[in-house]
A and B are shown apart, each in its own frame.
Chain A
């Protein structure tokens, strides 16, 4: 790795980040992928579009989200910790940044409807929210197992005027919801945009979603200056597909900061995966020796994904970002730690990043380090589950 290298630049014209990425989709979807790429390139260079995107995020979604110094937790761990508060964005997580961008793009392309996949329901709720705001029809595909685990989020989407389709194929979780959304997209691609929820899928999605999420990192870099921090020693984010991590990393990729992504141990594509092709992308995947995709298992539905975005696979290969895994057993203590020390109940996904920070303080993170934690989502959606787990433990 050379100091002059530019990290997290645009993918090449075949949609590759290094060897990862690409467009492994049926011919029927290729024209739509090409159309989307052209529309995004044009829109992202159009000052009026960028201004509209920023205005909606400011007036509707509560941006900029603050950076909060976590002093009590920092004293406890011997670190200087700052949290980027995506939990305070509308709908409770960073997901809104991406869906505002993609729904504006949907309208710009003259399409009237969006479809989306969702695991825990955060991306589904965000998409339903943006669709309602912009007057688009919205259908969300959600694994049947997840519709049962996250029944309130199903109701939220319905309140917002969206239709939720329980997916009964395969393992009936997030990866199957993606399959089903892709199958649906083939049938309605002329008037419908597939609003993918993470930095995954066929080109140009991983790039588009990273660009719409990069506002997290760019805001944080500016905000940290007010605290006298040019570049934190470490930037930490949880990773399922990897959109919040990509968003915050984008602000620091060409700074000296260490970039750390935390996967769930049961969904660890970098830690225990290998290169393969799924959902339109060449990336790192959990799979068996024959190339059959394995099911991820995590306490947090949002990290229950057997792959990772191709740009993360590339950053891991380059050594520019490092990825570690946290097991289910360490997640609830981390959630309680942040709740009790700072008055912030994080999402279970985010709690993985908190857990690694707490575990490695004074070890992989030297005492006295400055840390930026991307607080990707709030824990309201998870409190019933946490309560049930704590009851069985007591």
Chain B
């Protein structure tokens, strides 16, 4: 078992609901301060976006953040190097698109992640059928491959996803790209389906924008991922203290 999954299972089994905010790597000069602030506010793990020019699974907020980060010359390597200077106690999980790690070299990327304190990766354009080379590349490195489960995933397929995912299962609450948060969503149903066959931690993401939504989702799962809502605070000019306050509202909502 990869260390990401061991750590998240321990936290979950201790009765804690997991809070995982997302930050776009390289969005500003001092972007790692946001990560530190989130940890201070009670984040249990942090997703780090590595920007891609064509983020098919992302809505306008994360698209905008990716473009800004790219225009600052951000790369996989610059993000990893920034992270090696960050002292943090929580797991870090990279979120990027396949072309970025493919271009860097799969094994080289896995090694770079591990050396930078990244213990998991979410690559949303790498479905079950295409993920084997990446999982193999992560064999030698302690990097977990986190797979998404969608409301459209049929049960037989869902069982294979739950058996293959490492670290946790990312349960999409909506048939939507990141940032869509209207309506209640299907996260609870997806998590229930995952739990039929698997004990892997199941976190709900896609459309968790408010503490109320986080409370409801966390009650039905092992925790939540908050992406666009966090990034929006930064795009609006928020600093690390704003992030700390913002994350605390989610923390207290799910505790």
Binding site for B on A (CB under 8 A): 14, 22-32, 169-170, 175-176, 179, 182-183, 186-190, 276-280, 285, 287, 289-293
Contacts and interface: CB of A to CB of B under 8 A. Distances in A.
Contacts of A179: 54-56
A30 B175 contact: no
Given A27-B148, A30-B153, A183-B177, 6 more contacts: A22-B130, A27-B153, A28-B152, A32-B152, A188-B175, A291-B100
B172 interface: yes
Interface in B59-116: 59-60, 63, 67, 70, 75-76, 97-100, 102-104
A186 B99 contact: no
A186 B55 CA distance: 13
B129 A14 contact: yes
A22 B127 CA distance: 10
B126 interface: yes
Interface residues of B, number: 42
Interface string B131-164: 0000000000000000111111110010001000
Contacts of B55: 179
B57 interface: yes
A24 B52 contact: no
B57 A26 contact: yes
Contact of B56 (A26, A31, A276): A26
Majority SS of interface residues in chain A?
Answer: mixed
B128 interface: yes
Contacts of A25: 56, 125, 127
Contacts of A279: 54, 56
Nearest to B52: A292
B14 interface: no
27 contacts: A23-B129, A23-B130, A24-B126, A24-B130, A26-B124, A27-B147, A27-B153, A27-B172, A28-B150, A28-B153, A30-B127, A30-B150, A32-B152, A179-B55, A183-B56, A188-B175, A189-B152, A190-B152, A190-B175, A277-B102, A287-B103, A290-B75, A290-B103, A291-B99, A291-B100, A292-B52, A292-B53
Interface of B: 52-57, 59-60, 63, 67, 70, 75-76, 97-100, 102-104, 124-130, 147-154, 157, 161, 172, 175-177, 180
A260 B152 CA distance: 42
A26 B70 contact: no
A182 B57 CA distance: 8
A27 B56 contact: no
Contacts of A186: 57, 175-177
B174 to A, nearest CB: 8
A-B CB proximity, top 3 nearest: A291-B103, A28-B150, A292-B53
Find the residue from A26, A179, A280, A289 having the highest chain B CB count within 10 A. Answer: A26
Nearest to B77: A290
A22 B97 CA distance: 15
B145 to A, nearest CB: 13
Contact of A175 (B54, B124, B154): B54
Contacts of B54: 170, 175-176, 179, 278-279, 293
B99 A31 contact: no
Nearest to B170: A27
Nearest to A274: B103
A174 to B, nearest CB: 12
Contacts of A170: 53-54, 63, 67
A28 B55 CA distance: 15
Contact of B103 (A23, A176, A182, A276): A276
A169 B56 CA distance: 11
A27 B99 contact: no
A276 B152 contact: no
Contacts of A291: 52, 99-100, 102-104
A175 B157 CA distance: 30
Nearest to A169: B63
Given A169-B63, A179-B54, A24 B177 contact: no
B175 to A, nearest CB: 6
Contacts of B152: 27-29, 31-32, 189-190
Nearest to A184: B177
B23 to A, nearest CB: 20
Contacts of A292: 52-53, 70
A389 B56 CA distance: 35
Contact of B127 (A27, A175, A278, A290): A27
A289 to B, nearest CB: 8
A278 B153 CA distance: 23
A27 B180 CA distance: 17
Contacts of A188: 175
B99 A277 contact: yes
B99 A276 contact: yes
Contacts of A27: 124, 127-128, 147-150, 152-153, 161, 172
A154 to B, nearest CB: 22
A31 B148 CA distance: 13
A179 B125 CA distance: 12
A183 B60 CA distance: 11
